[in-house]
Amino acid sequence: FYALYMHSALARRAVTLHPSPRVLDANSTTAAVSPERFWGSYRPQVYFGMKTRSPRSVVTGLMWMSQFSDNDVNLRHTCEQGDGLSSYGWLMHDGVNFGMQQIRDTDFTLKTTFVKRMGGEHGGDWTWRITGRQHSAAPDAPVISLMFYVATDTQGSLQAHIENRTRLSHVTGTSEELGDFKITFSKPTSGEAATNKYASYNYLQTLSPGLDQLTDIVKYSLSNRFVFSPSTAERRLYFAVDTYTPPPHLQKDNRIQSDFVVHQVTVQVPFQIEVLFESGSVHDRPNQLMGSVLTEELTRLKLSYNEKFEETFGLQAKGFNPAQVRFGKAALSNMLGGMGYFFGQSVVQSTYSEHPMLYPEGTLFTAVPSRSFFPRGFLWDEGFHQLLISKWDPQLTREAVAHWLDLINVEGWIPREQILGDEALSKVPSEFVVQHTENANPPTFFLVLEEFLEQLEAHPDAPQFRDTLPFLRRLYPRLQTWFEWYNTTQAGPLPNSYRWRGRDKDTNLFLNPKTLTSGLDDYPRASHPSEDERHVDLHCWMVLASRIMTSMARLLGEPHQEYERTHLTLSNNSLLSKLHWSKQLYAFCDYGNHTQAVSLQQEEVAVPPGQMRHQLPVKRLVRSVRKAPKLQYVNAFGYVSLFPFLLHVLTPDSKKLEHTLKDIRDPVHLWTPYGLRSLSRLDPLYMKRNTEHDPPYWRGAIWININYLALRALHHYSSIEGPYQEKAADLYQELRTNLINNIYKQYHETGYIWEQYSDSTGQGQGSRPFTGWSALIVLIMAEEY
Ligand code: 6A9
C-alpha cells in the first residue's frame, strides 16, 4: 500500500506546477495591462489570421481558393506544404504594430497586411488590407474567392449583418476580453483609390465544435450552384459557402458549439480589399483606419521599421545589397510573425503512473520552428529563437521565456514539445503527443540569459533593459529547480558525467536508436543504449548552465558558491578529456556500450499460419550486429564532438581546440562550401537511413543552429588571446560567407528558408518555411553573437 501511495504521490508531482510565484502576473497579457500586444498574428499555423493573447480568444482569419481552375477545390487555410505555394511569408513584421506578408499561389500573388491602432480599453482597432494581382502571363486574370471569417471559441457571440441578401457587410460581436466590437468588410476595388469592381458575395453563418474544424466546415458547405457574371464575360458557375450540415462523423462532436461566420468575396485580380476591426470602447476615433489613412500609416510604420532594422542589425552599413537586406528583414519578420499564443494541456507520462495524465492548463507565448510542419513550441528551439528576438525586442523575449518557465513543474521539468489546444493537437500524429517526464532537451534558455546578462552589463541604464533585472529575480527560483532537475535526473554513470534519458528502446529496429531528447535525433550515439553511457554535448550544456547560474546568483546577491563549484569542476578541461576525449578518434565523443559493426538487413518476416494466405512473405529491414558491443568511445565525428568548442568550454590554449579547428576545416569531415555538415563523411553512419521509413536527418545535413554556435565560438576564440586566435578568425570569415551566400541563394531560388541544407549541393531540404533557428542567419549577417 505504501509503495502504491508513494507512486501516486510522485505521479501527481509530475503534473503539479512549481510553487514559486509565477513570472507572469495573472493578467499580464490582458488588454488592460498590455494593450499594444493584445491583438496579433498569433496564429502562425494559418496563412493569415489574428487573435488576442487570451485563452479562448475570438479568432479571425482568411481562407481562399481560385475559381475555374483545373484543380477542383483548392482551399487554402492552414499552412500546408502540400498546397505547394511557391512562397509565402512576412516581408515585414515588427512583432507589435504591423505586418506585411506576400503569398505566391499558382498564378496570382496575395499581399496580406495588418495594421493596429491603439485606443479604448480592449486592445484597440486593426485593419487588414488584402491585395491580389496576377503574376503569370495567362490571358485570363484569375478569379479568386476570399473567405474572411470570425469564430468564437466557447465564449462570446457573433451576429452577421447582411445586405442585398448575400453580402455580409459587417459582423458585430461581443466577448469576455473584447467587449463589443464590429468587423466591417469593405467592397473590393481594383487598386488604391479606385472604384468598386464586380464581385459576387456569399456568406455562411453556423456553429463549430472547435477551431480545428473550421476548414472542414467551409469545405463541406461548398456548392457550385452560384453564378459569376461580370458584364464583360460569360456567366460561369463557381463554388461558394452555402449551407452546412455536419457530416455523420462530426455530428457526434459534443464540444460546446461556437459561432462561426464566413464572408466570401469572389473577384477577379487585380483587387484590393480592406477589413476593419473596431473596438466598441473607442469613442474618439479621429477617422477610420482605411484607404488613404491606412496607406499613410503604413508608410510611417515601414519607414520606422526600416530604420530600426538598420539601427539594430546594420546590414546596409556592412555592405549588404538591398536584396540581401530584404532577405534579412524577411527572416526576422517570419520569426516574429511566427509567434503564437497557445492555450491547453500537455499529455504527460511519468514513470510513476500507468497511464498518461493531463498537465495543468497553461498558456504559451512562443515562436515556432515552422508554420507549416511544426506550428507549436519546442523547448530547445525557443532558446535559439529568442537569441534573435531579444536583439529586436527584449520585452518579447522576456514574455516568451516567462511563459515557458511558468510551465515548469515542481520537479523542475518542462515538457519539450508543447502541443496545446485542439488546433495544435490536430497537427500531431498520436505517437508524438505524449511527453515523458524523464526526458530533457538542451537548456538553450541559458544562452538567452547570457544575452540578458551581457545587455545589462553593457547598457545598465538603457530603458529597454530596465525590466530585465526584476524579471531575472522572478525567474530565479524556477531556474534553480530547472538546473537541479538536469543535474540530478540526467546524471551519468561516473561523477560529473551526464546522460540523456529517453533514447529509443528497441535496438532491433533502428540502425542506431535515436536520442530525440538531445535535439539531435538520429545523430549516432552508443549502438546499445545503456546506463553506462555518457554524452559530451549534455556535459557541455551543463558547463554553460552552471556558468550562467553562477553569474545570475552573483548578480542577484544569492548564494553562488555551489554553482561556481559545479562550474569549476565541469569546465575543467582535464576532466572533460578524461570523460570524453577518444585517443583513437582524436576528438571528443560519447562513451557507452557500442559497436560500429551494425547494418540494416532485409529480413523475411514469417506470416503467422492461418493469416493472409495469399500474401507474400513480408520483408522488412532489421538491424544486424556483426560484432558484440562493448564499453568504449563512440568514435563518431560530427556536431557532438564540437560541443566543447561550441559552448566555449575549451581553454583558448588547448591543443584540442587546434584539432577541432583542423577537423572542422577538413572537407572529408565537416567542411562544405555551404556550412558545416553534421556528421563526418568518413563516419559509417554518414547519410545512412535509420529505418526503411526514416531517412538520415542529423547524419550529414547542414543545420543552422549549430552553425550559428560554431560562428559564435569562432568569433569568441578569435577575440581572446591564444595561439589559435588567427586560425579562428580565418575560419570565421570563411564559414560566415559560405552560410550567408548559400541560404540567401536558396531563398532567392526557392522562395523559402529551410529546415536544413544539403551538404553536397547546398539545397534547402526538410520542412519549409522553417524560420525558426534558420532565421539566425540575420544575426550571422549582423555579426551579433
Ligand atoms: C513530427 C510531424 C505534420 C526535429 O524543430 C523542432 C524539432 C527540433 O527540436 C529537433 O531538434 N525538429 C529536430 O531534430 C522537428 C520535430 C518535429 C516532430 C514532430 C510530427 C507532423 O506532421
According to the model, what pLDDT value does residue 617 have?
62
SS3 content of the chain, % helix, strand, coil (to 5): 35, 25, 40
Ligand 1 centroid vs 186 CA: distance in angstroms?
Answer: 40
Rounded Cα–Cα distance for residues 653 and 657 (Å) = 7
Q: Say if CB 313 and CB 778 are below 8 A apart.
A: yes
According to the model, what pLDDT value does residue 137 have?
77
Rounded Cα–Cα distance for residues 55 and 592 (Å) = 45
Give the residue numbers annotated as catalytic, written as ranges: 521, 755
Q: How confident is the model at residue 507 (pLDDT cuts 50, 70, 90)?
A: confident
Ligand 1 centroid vs 184 CA: distance in angstroms?
Answer: 39
Reference 107, options 68, 53, 164, 51; nearest CA is 68
Ligand 1 centroid vs 373 CA: distance in angstroms?
Answer: 8
The minimum-distance atom of ligand 1 relative to the CA of 380 is: 9
Whether a cis peptide bond, with omega within 30° of 0, leads into 270 is yes
Per-residue pLDDT averaged across 209-216, rounded? 96
Ligand 1 centroid vs 374 CA: distance in angstroms?
Answer: 6
Q: Which of 374, 416, 678 to mutate to test the pocket of ligand 1 (most atoms within 8 A of CB)?
A: 374
Per-residue pLDDT averaged across 98-104, rounded? 98
Burial of residue 751 (CB within 10 Å: 0-12, 13-18, 19+) is middle
Reference 221, options 235, 200, 203, 201; nearest CA is 203
Rounded Cα–Cα distance for residues 640 and 450 (Å) = 22
Check whether 633 has a pLDDT greater than 90. yes
Closest residue CA from atom 11 of ligand 1: 519
Rounded Cα–Cα distance for residues 740 and 483 (Å) = 35
Closest residue CA from atom 15 of ligand 1: 374
Whether a cis peptide bond, with omega within 30° of 0, leads into 375 is no
The minimum-distance atom of ligand 1 relative to the CA of 773 is: 5
Closest residue CA from atom 5 of ligand 1: 369
According to the model, what pLDDT value does residue 614 have?
57
Reference 129, options 208, 54, 209, 62; nearest CA is 62
Per-residue pLDDT averaged across 344-365, rounded? 95
Ligand 1 centroid vs 123 CA: distance in angstroms?
Answer: 34
How many other CB atoms are there within 10 angstroms of residue 603's CB atom?
15
Per-residue pLDDT averaged across 564-577, rounded? 98
According to the model, what pLDDT value does residue 39 have?
98
Q: Say if CB 706 and CB 642 are below 8 A apart.
A: yes
Ligand 1 centroid vs 375 CA: distance in angstroms?
Answer: 10
Share of the chain above pLDDT 70, in %: 97
- Please give the backbone phi and psi of residue 30, each rounded to the nearest 5 degrees, phi first: -70, 165
Ligand 1 centroid vs 703 CA: distance in angstroms?
Answer: 13
Rounded Cα–Cα distance for residues 342 and 769 (Å) = 20
The minimum-distance atom of ligand 1 relative to the CA of 697 is: 14
Lowest mean pLDDT among 13-22, 304-313, 542-551, 604-613: 604-613
Rounded Cα–Cα distance for residues 494 and 496 (Å) = 6
The minimum-distance atom of ligand 1 relative to the CA of 370 is: 5
Q: Say if CB 377 and CB 404 are below 8 A apart.
A: yes
According to the model, what pLDDT value does residue 71 have?
65
According to the model, what pLDDT value does residue 741 have?
98
Q: Say if CB 76 and CB 171 are below 8 A apart.
A: no
Q: Which of 78, 81, 372, 373 to mutate to test the pocket of ligand 1 (most atoms within 8 A of CB)?
A: 373
Q: Say if CB 108 and CB 142 are below 8 A apart.
A: yes
Per-residue pLDDT averaged across 606-620, rounded? 62
The minimum-distance atom of ligand 1 relative to the CA of 516 is: 14
Q: If you write DSSP's letter for every residue of 722-745 in order, what string do you get?
A: STTHHHHHHHHHHHHHHHHHHHHH
Ligand 1 centroid vs 692 CA: distance in angstroms?
Answer: 19
Per-residue pLDDT averaged across 105-116, rounded? 96
Handedness of CA 487, 492, 493, 497 (dihedral sign): negative
Closest residue CA from atom 20 of ligand 1: 428
According to the model, what pLDDT value does residue 232 have?
72
Reference 527, options 697, 683, 678; nearest CA is 683
The minimum-distance atom of ligand 1 relative to the CA of 381 is: 9
Mean pLDDT estimate for the chain: 95
Write out the three cell numbers for 245. 450540415
Q: Which of 79, 378, 756 to mutate to test the pocket of ligand 1 (most atoms within 8 A of CB)?
A: 378
Closest residue CA from atom 21 of ligand 1: 428
Q: Say if CB 120 and CB 84 are below 8 A apart.
A: no
This model's pTM is above 0.90: yes
According to the model, what pLDDT value does residue 735 have?
98
According to the model, what pLDDT value does residue 3 have?
66
Closest residue CA from atom 10 of ligand 1: 519
Q: Say if CB 135 and CB 104 are below 8 A apart.
A: yes
The conformation of residue 498, written as its DSSP 8-state character, comes to B
The distance of Cα 172 from the centroid of its chain, to the nearest Å, equals 34
Cα dihedral angle (515, 519, 525, 531), rounded to 10 degrees? -50
Closest residue CA from atom 17 of ligand 1: 374
The minimum-distance atom of ligand 1 relative to the CA of 698 is: 14
The conformation of residue 699, written as its DSSP 8-state character, comes to S
- pLDDT tens-digit readout, 147-203: 999 999 999 999 999 999 999 999 999 999 999 999 999 999 987 667 889 999 999
The minimum-distance atom of ligand 1 relative to the CA of 772 is: 5
Write out the three cell numbers for 153. 471559441
Reference 780, options 677, 705, 678; nearest CA is 705
Reference 169, options 275, 244, 66; nearest CA is 275
- pLDDT tens-digit readout, 511-527: 999 999 999 999 999 99
The minimum-distance atom of ligand 1 relative to the CA of 427 is: 3
Q: Say if CB 30 and CB 123 are below 8 A apart.
A: no
Q: How many residues does the chain have?
A: 785
Alpha helices in 289-418 (DSSP H): 291-313, 322-337, 379-392, 394-405
Share of the chain above pLDDT 90, in %: 88
Ligand 1 centroid vs 101 CA: distance in angstroms?
Answer: 25
Q: Say if CB 81 and CB 767 are below 8 A apart.
A: yes
Handedness of CA 637, 638, 643, 648 (dihedral sign): positive
Ligand 1 centroid vs 162 CA: distance in angstroms?
Answer: 44
Phi-psi region of 496 (alpha: psi -120 to 50; beta: other; left: phi over 0): left
Check whether 399 has a pLDDT greater than 80. yes
Alpha helices in 222-290 (DSSP H): 248-251
- pLDDT tens-digit readout, 226-280: 999 988 778 999 999 999 988 888 788 888 899 999 999 999 999 999 999 999 9
- pLDDT tens-digit readout, 645-702: 999 999 999 999 999 999 999 999 999 999 999 999 999 999 999 998 999 999 999 9
Q: Which residues line ligand 1 (CB under 6 A)?
A: 369, 373-374, 378, 380-381, 427-429, 432, 519, 521, 772
Check whether 302 has a pLDDT greater than 90. yes
Per-residue pLDDT averaged across 400-418, rounded? 98
According to the model, what pLDDT value does residue 616 have?
60
Check whether 750 has a pLDDT greater than 80. yes
Reference 487, options 544, 553, 561, 531; nearest CA is 544
Ligand 1 centroid vs 81 CA: distance in angstroms?
Answer: 15
Check whether 72 has a pLDDT greater than 70. no
